[in-house]
Structures are given as structure tokens and as C-alpha cells.
Amino acid sequence: MPSPKITSPDDPALDQLHESLAKLADQIDVTDKWPAEQLQLCADFGVYEWFIDPEWGGQGWDTEAVVQGYLALSSACLTTTFILTQRTGACRRIASSTNHSLKERLLPGLAQGNSFATVGISHLTTSRRHLARPVLRARQTEGGFVLDGFSPWVTGAAEAQYVVIGATLMADDQPTEEQLLVVVLTDLPGVSAPEPAKLVGVSASRTGELRLENVFVEDEWLLAGPTENVMSKGVGASTGGHETSTLASGLVAAALEFLAGEATKRPNLEKPLAALQKEQEQLREALFAVVHGEPHCSSEQLRQLANSLALRSSQAALAAAKGTGYIVGHPAGRWCREALFFLVWSCPQPVLSANLCELAGIAE
């Protein structure tokens, strides 16, 4: 029987998808296998449509609905939901560009899940920023750009047909202030994705380098630039935004649901559970306040709160699960490793500093 399309966050079909993803989550953590089945489920349930406008065959959910959807999915399987965010980041960059023919060409297939796109932009925001020579360089030439170097972190690079990638424009072999965003087809000559390194968590996302060896990209694949600060133009995967905090909140929900289940049999867990649930509610309120455009705190403070609670809730779940939780295959151990991901993923300097101060037990 075909899966029902999820048309709103209140749709009971979302619970059905949640259940299917949760059942498969421990298995991919052990095998590190790309979650093809989970991503196909997302296509069947119409999840890719949430993020794309009706004009391109999507459902165009508003931000609040998307956050609710992400919360449900990330509490079931963080790896699959993380991959979704990278795919969505690529879709948003394409959708917000002025390149109409590229939108027409790519967005309908992406809405239906017929193709996979991802992003390689961290080297313009949070990775390798201390190096004098940019890791991915672009040279303008007749009819396009020649890209040379690598993008250090590309989720599902070997699985993608398209990668939205950023590069620094060079002139006379020197970096300029200008950058560009292009869509790179992964079957172009010179493009390769080596076997990714094993990660501490979300390893099945198969995140690793995308190498580009003098790859010619025609002008028709240009999304933005060359311009200064190309990442601040349009919308897409941004660093330290509420999306990362949303996924951390999903992880908190999974860990605290487990703790609540244990607390029904063990009264000594009730007090710490109640305290963590209170913070969970505060985090939820802060998240939706940001979504409604009436923030109680900056997005950096929100992220720090989400990181802190993800670390503490997952460790509380592990402590309650005791030695049993420390065996590979138990979700509590997986949640602890996944919580560490939020310390490094898309983490701008102010959040990094705040995390370090909290760990050191000092005020900023």
C-alpha cells in the first residue's frame, strides 16, 4: 500500500513515519550504512515537498510547521533528519537564487525525491577560516569558472547528484574578497568523493570531503556571486540558526522520553526528570519565540541552551540505562555520541566560546 503524504505537522502519518524511522535508527548507527531506506520513506511520505514551494511541486510549509516536522523526525532518527537539513539547505539556496532556469530544472525532481542534493559551504563560514589560502578556489574563465581544491565537509557527497558549493574567487593566483555559489554536478570530470572518515556519531550521513580538480562549471550553474560575503545573500543553510537547535531539541525529546519510561518504574528518577523536562519546556518556548520572530534570546543563546540540554539529557538517559546503555546498539549511548555532534556542527565562534565557558564552569 502506498504511504500517505504528510500534509501538516498534525497529520497522523507523521507519527507513522516517526515510528518507522525510530525502529531503524539503532541499526544505521551500528552499520554506518547510508540510510537509503529511511530517505526513500521520506520521499514516499512527501517530506521533501515540505521545503519546496507549490510552484515547483512542493507543499511549501511555513517555518513553524517545518520546525514541528523536524522536531518529530529528529527525535526518531537524528542521522536521517540531519541529512534532510543539508538537502534542504541546498534546495533553499537554489530556490532563493535568481537563476530561474536552474530552479525549473532541479526543484521539481528534488521535491519528489528523484534526486539528491547537498551543500559544501562550511569553508566559507566555520571551517578552515584560519588558513591564508582558501581550500576551494575559483578562477573565472570564458563561459564559466574553474574550481580547484576541496570542500572539507559534504554530507552524502558520494550519494548526491548535485552539490551546492561555495568557492573563493582568485585573481592572479591570489584570493580576492569575492566568493561564489554554484551547483556542481558530481559526475563532472575532476569531481571525486573519497571514502569518508568514520565519525563519532551520525556516521551514516557519510560526511566527508568533496574534491574538485580543475573542474569547469558553466555559467548556467551559477547561483550567486561573485560577490563579497556570498553566504549572507539569500537564504539557505546558515550557521548557528534555529535549525541546528531544533535538531538538538529533537534529541532532547528522545532522551527524556526514555528517562520518563524508566521513571515510571523507578521513583528515584522522578526529580531529575522533572527538572530536565522543565528546561525542555523552556527550550521549546525559546525556539518557537525565535520562529515567531519574537525571540527571548539571541539565536546563539538558544543554540547554547539546546547544546547544553542535549548533552545533559542524553547523559541522564545513559546514567539511568546503566551498563546496559553502554552496550553498542542501545539508544542511550548513541544519543550521548549524537549530542557531541552539536558541539561541532555549524557552530559559530560565540556559541563555541559559550560552550567552552559552560564546560569550564566559568562566566563568559
Ligand X SMILES: Cc1cc2nc3c(=O)[nH]c(=O)nc-3n(C[C@H](O)[C@H](O)[C@H](O)COP(=O)(O)OP(=O)(O)OC[C@H]3O[C@@H](n4cnc5c(N)ncnc54)[C@H](O)[C@@H]3O)c2cc1C
Q: Which residues in this chain contact ligand X in the complex, by CB under 6 A?
A: 86, 118-122, 126-130, 152-155, 199, 202, 207, 344-346
Question: In terms of CB distance, is 125 or 176 closer to ligand X?
Answer: 125
Q: What is the rounded distance in angstroms from the CA atom of residue 307 to the CA atom of residue 285?
A: 15
Q: Give 144-172 as a 3 state SS string.
A: EEEEEEEEEEEECHHHCCEEEEEEEEEEC
For ligand X, the closer CB: 33 or 292? 33
17 versus 154: smaller Cβ distance to ligand X: 154
The nearer residue to ligand X, 258 or 342, going by C-beta atoms, is 342
**Distance in Å, CB of 79 to ligand X, minimum:** 10
Q: How far is the CB of 214 from ligand X (least distance, A)?
A: 22
Nearer to ligand X, 197 or 275 (CB): 197
Cβ atoms of 160 and 208 closer than 8 Å: no
Q: How far is the CB of 340 from ligand X (least distance, A)?
A: 10
Rank residues 135 and 320 by Cβ distance to ligand X and give the closer one: 135
CA distances from 200 to 22, 90, 340, 351 (A): 20, 25, 8, 20
Dihedral of CA atoms 316, 318, 323, 327 in degrees, nearest 10, equals: -170
Alpha helix (H) residue ranges in the chain: 12-31, 36-44, 47-50, 63-76, 78-95, 100-112, 242-263, 270-291, 299-325, 331-344, 349-360
CB of 201 to ligand X, least distance (A): 8
Adjacent-strand bridge partners of 192: 211
Q: How far is the CB of 55 from ligand X (least distance, A)?
A: 26
Nearest distance, CB of residue 92 and ligand X, angstroms: 13
Residue number with CB closer to ligand X (16 or 127): 127
| Cα separation, 84 vs 138, whole angstroms | 28
Distances (CA, A) of 167 to 171, 225, 267: 13, 10, 56
Judge whether 80 and 73 are in contact, CB under 8 Å.
Answer: yes
Of 170, 165, 166, nearest to 139 (Cα)?
Answer: 170
Q: Which is nearer to ligand X, 222 or 231 (CB)?
A: 231
Q: How far is the CB of 155 from ligand X (least distance, A)?
A: 3
Closest distance between ligand X and the C-beta of residue 323, in Å?
28
Q: For strand 117-120 and strand 162-171, is the pairing parallel, antiparallel, or unpaired? A: parallel
